[in-house]
Structure 1
Amino acid sequence: MTLSSPENALKSLQTELNVLINQLPHLEHGKWIQRALAVLLRLTGEEIERLDWKILTASLEDMERAFQVFYPYRHIRKVTIFGSARITSDTPEYRLAAEFAHHLTQHGFMVMTGAGGGIMEAGNVGAGQENSFGLNIQLPFEGTNSFIEGDPKLINFKYFFTRKLFFLKETDAIALFPGGFGTQDEAFECLTLCQTGRSGPVPLVLIDKAGGSYWQEWDAYIHKHLIQPGLVSKSDANLYTITDSLDVAYEAINSFYRVYHSSRYVGEQFVIRLKSELLDADVEQLNRDFSDILVRGRIEKSQILPEETADETSELPRLIFHFNRRDLGRLYQLIADINQMGAASKAASHPEIK
C-alpha cells in the first residue's frame, strides 16, 4: 500500500529528526536537547488530539519566553511576593508590601510578582521597574499594573502551571501577604513543593499588617486540622514564618542565606553548599541532633564532588549526607542551625564583627 502524502511527510520528518538527534550528544547540553526532541518525535507517531498539541505548544512557548527573560539575571537572588489583587493602595497591607519590596532591593534582591493590581502592584512599585519582574497570567478580568506594563521583564503566561513553575524555579524566598483563593493556592502550592522536596529549600514568610490576624488564624487551622490529626508532621510548621513585623520578615530571609548558599542532589547524596566552612565540632553537633533524617552514614564536610558541574559555586565548602527525602521540616531546622553555627563561628573568629 502506498503511503499518503501526510504519512510520507511524517515519515520523512521522523527520519531527519533521528539523524539530528544522533548528532546532539556531543553538544553542550546535548543529552537534554536529545531527550526533548525525542519526546516530540515519539508524539508525532501517537494518536493525540489537536488540543493536546495546542497545550504542548503553548506550554513550550510560555517556558521559552521565561527562560529568555530570566537568563541574564540568573545569578541575582529574587523574592516572590504573593497577595491579593483587590487590596487598594490606601491600605496598610499595600504600604507594607511596597516598603518590604523596596527594602529587599536595597539589599541586592530583585522582586517577582504576578504583575496584577493590589499587593502585586505594591511589590513592583516598591522594587522599582529596574528590580521588578512581572509574571502575568492572561485573564479576561484582570490586567497588568501600570508599573510593570511594557517592561521587558514582564512575561505573559497562558497557563497557571507554567507560571507557577517559574515563580518557584527562579525565587530564593517567598513572601505572602493576605489574599483570596489565588493567594491561598499559592501558599499551599509552595508549602507542598517544599514539604515534598520538589522545590529546593527557600524561606517562606507570611506577612500581615500590625496586629492583623489573617495568617495567625490560617496557622490555627493548620495546627488544629492538619498537624494535630497527623495529616502533616509537626516539624512542617518550620517551613514558614508568620509575622506582622517587616524586621522579622527581613531577618527570616537574610538569616536563611547567612551561611547556607544552596543545595542539590548528586546521585543519592544531598549536597549543601555553604558560604563559609563549619567547625568540625559543629558538624559533630549536627550529626548528634539530626541523625533521624539520615538514611545511613553521617553528615560530612566536602569540597565539590567529581560528579558536579563546575560553576560559580565550585569553590564553596559543602556538607554531604544521605537525606531521607521525607523530613523536610527537619531539613529546614538543620539549615537554621547551620546558619546559627556559622554566624557564631565567624563572630568568634572576628570579634570586631557585630
Structure 2
Amino acid sequence: MEEAGTLNRFNDTDEDDLLPSSEDRRAIEINRLLDQIRQTADKLQRDAASRGDLKLLARSLKELRYAFKVFTPYRDMRKLTIFGSARTRPDHPNYITAVKFAEQMAQDGWLVITGAGSGIMEAGHRGAGRENAMGLNIVLPFEQQANPIIHGDDKLVNMKYFFTRKLMFVKECDAVVCLPGGFGTLDEAFEVLTLVQTGKRDPFPIVLLDAPGGTYWKKLDDFIRAALHDDEMISPEDFALYRVTDSVDEAVAEIEKFYKVYHSMRYVRNKLVIRLQKTISSSLLDAIRSEFHGLLSEGDFEIRSALAEEDEPEIESLPRLVFHFNRRDLGRLRILIDCLNDESLEPASRKFV
C-alpha cells in the first residue's frame, strides 16, 4: 500500500511538471500566429494575387513591424494621442492651448503622440518636449516634413498609408485629445468614437478640447445632440464616451481620473476582466450589481484574482472585476468605469442630455 501511495504521489507531481508554464503557453501562441502569417503569404501565392495587392500588403506589414519595434520599449508607459489642424499658427489660441496641455501631461509622466507635422501636432510635441514626444508622420506627395521637435528622433515613424498610421495612433495610446482641425481631424475624432462605441477598442478617455472661450467642439456637440441623438441614432449613454471642454485643467483631470482605480481590461473567453489599481468595497460591489445588472449577459459581477489565461505576470497581483458583458452597452460600460474611479455610484446618476 505504501508503495502504491508513493507511486501515486510521484505520478501527480510528474503530471504537474508536464503542464506548460505561462511563458511556454505564450511562446506556443506566438509561434502559432507566426505560422498563420506564413500560411497567409503562401495562400496569396496560390491565389495568384496581383502585384498591386501584394505591394500594398508587403508595405503595410513592413510599416507595422517597424512601428511595433519603435513603440515596444514604451509599452509600459502611459501615452496620449493629440489630433488637430496642421495649419494652426504658433500665435493661435488653439496652438497655445495644445502646448500647455501637452506640457502638463508630460510633467505627469505621459508620452505625447502626434502626427509629427506642423500646427497642433508641433504644438503637442513642443509642450511635451523631445524626450516625451513620439511621432507618426505621413509621407504625402506634396510632402509633410516632421516638425523640428521630433525630426530625426528614434521615436519617429514615417508611414505611407493613413490606415496603418491611424491604427498605431489608436492601438498604442491610453487617451485621445482632439483640438480643432479640418476634415482629417474630424475623421480621426469620429473614428475613435466609433471604435470605442462598437467595442473595437477598449474604453479610454476621449477629450474634445477647445481654447478658452472656443466653440468649435461645442458646435459639433450641439449637432450630435440635435441630429444624432434626437433622431435616435445614438443612445444617451454614448455621450459618456467623450468630454467637451475649453479648459486644459479639466482635460488633464478627465484623463488622469480615468486611471485612478481602473487599470485595463481584456476578454477571457466569454468574460470581461477589468483590472483594478485597488480593490473596491463590498458596498460598492453590491451597488454595482444592482445598478449595472443590465450589462450582464448571464451570471453576476465578482471580485477575484487574475485568471490563468491572462498570462501577464507584471499585473497579476491586481484585483479584477469579472463578469459576462453583453458587449453591446459600451456607453454604459464607460459609466461603470467612472463609478469605479469615483468609488461611488454618483456618475451613474448624471444626465447626459
Is 2:339–2:345's contact at 8 Å kept on the other side of the alignment?
Answer: no
From the superposition, tell whether residues 343 and 110 of structure 1 become closer, same or farther in structure 2 (CA, over 3 Å).
farther
The match for 2:150 among 137, 148, 156 is: 148
Is 1:277–1:342's contact at 8 Å kept on the other side of the alignment?
Answer: no
Amino acid of the structure 1 residue aligned with 2:36: R
Q: Distance in 2 between matches of 1:37 and 1:232?
A: 41
Amino acid of the structure 2 residue aligned with 1:150: G
**Which residue is equivalent to 2:337?**
335
Give me the TM-score of the superposition, normalised by structure 2: 0.88
1:32 counterpart SS class: helix
Give me the TM-score of the superposition, normalised by structure 1: 0.88
Amino acid of the structure 1 residue aligned with 2:304: S
1:37 maps to 2:38: yes
Amino acid of the structure 2 residue aligned with 1:212: G
Q: Distance in 2 between matches of 1:221 and 1:292?
A: 29
1:81 counterpart SS class: strand
Amino acid of the structure 2 residue aligned with 1:102: E
| Displaced runs of 4 or more, over 4 A | 25-28
**Which residue is equivalent to 2:84?**
83
- Aligned residues between the structures: 321
**Which residue is equivalent to 2:162?**
160
From the superposition, tell whether residues 259 and 117 of structure 1 become closer, same or farther in structure 2 (CA, over 3 Å).
same
Amino acid of the structure 1 residue aligned with 2:329: D
Is 1:258–1:343's contact at 8 Å kept on the other side of the alignment?
Answer: no
Instruction: Please report the RMSD computed on the Cα atoms of aligned residues, expressed in angstroms.
Output: 1.6
Q: Distance in 2 between matches of 1:138 and 1:268?
A: 41
**Which residue is equivalent to 1:292?**
294
**Structure 2 counterparts to residues 243-322 of structure 1, below 5 A:** 243-322=245-324
1:312 counterpart SS class: helix
Deviations 1:14-35 (A, max 9, x none): xxxxxxxxxxx96561111111
**Which residue is equivalent to 1:195?**
197
Identity between Structure 1 and Structure 2 (%): 48
From the superposition, tell whether residues 126 and 290 of structure 1 become closer, same or farther in structure 2 (CA, over 3 Å).
same
Q: Distance in 2 between matches of 1:169 and 1:315?
A: 25
Deviates more, 1:263-272 or 1:38-47: 38-47
Q: Distance in 2 between matches of 1:169 and 1:311?
A: 21
1:293 shift after superposition: 1.3
The match for 1:182 among 184, 190, 197 is: 184
Q: Distance in 2 between matches of 1:26 and 1:131?
A: 32
From the superposition, tell whether residues 276 and 342 of structure 1 become closer, same or farther in structure 2 (CA, over 3 Å).
farther
Q: Distance in 2 between matches of 1:114 and 1:311?
A: 33
**Which residue is equivalent to 1:21?**
none
1:38 shift after superposition: 1.2
1:127 shift after superposition: 0.6
1:145 shift after superposition: 1.0
Is 2:288–2:345's contact at 8 Å kept on the other side of the alignment?
Answer: no
Deviations 1:321-341 (A, max 9, x none): 111111111011000000011
The match for 2:221 among 219, 225, 243 is: 219
Is 1:174–1:203's contact at 8 Å kept on the other side of the alignment?
Answer: yes
1:307 counterpart SS class: helix
Q: Distance in 2 between matches of 1:245 and 1:315?
A: 36
From the superposition, tell whether residues 78 and 262 of structure 1 become closer, same or farther in structure 2 (CA, over 3 Å).
same
**Structure 2 counterparts to residues 78-117 of structure 1, below 5 A:** 78-117=79-118
Q: Distance in 2 between matches of 1:165 and 1:327?
A: 23
Is 1:259–1:342's contact at 8 Å kept on the other side of the alignment?
Answer: no
**Which residue is equivalent to 2:19?**
none
**Runs (5+) with no aligned partner, structure 2:** 1-25, 347-353
1:47 shift after superposition: 2.5
1:311 shift after superposition: 2.6
**Which residue is equivalent to 2:16?**
none
Deviations 1:33-57 (A, max 9, x none): 1111111111110022100000000
Amino acid of the structure 1 residue aligned with 2:89: T
Q: Distance in 2 between matches of 1:28 and 1:109?
A: 31
Q: Distance in 1 between matches of 2:343 and 2:328?
A: 24
**Which residue is equivalent to 1:239?**
241
Q: Distance in 2 between matches of 1:300 and 1:185?
A: 38
Deviations 1:48-92 (A, max 9, x none): 210000000010011011011001111000010000000000011
**Which residue is equivalent to 2:128?**
127
Q: Distance in 2 between matches of 1:26 and 1:41?
A: 23
Is 1:270–1:320's contact at 8 Å kept on the other side of the alignment?
Answer: yes
Q: Distance in 2 between matches of 1:169 and 1:312?
A: 20
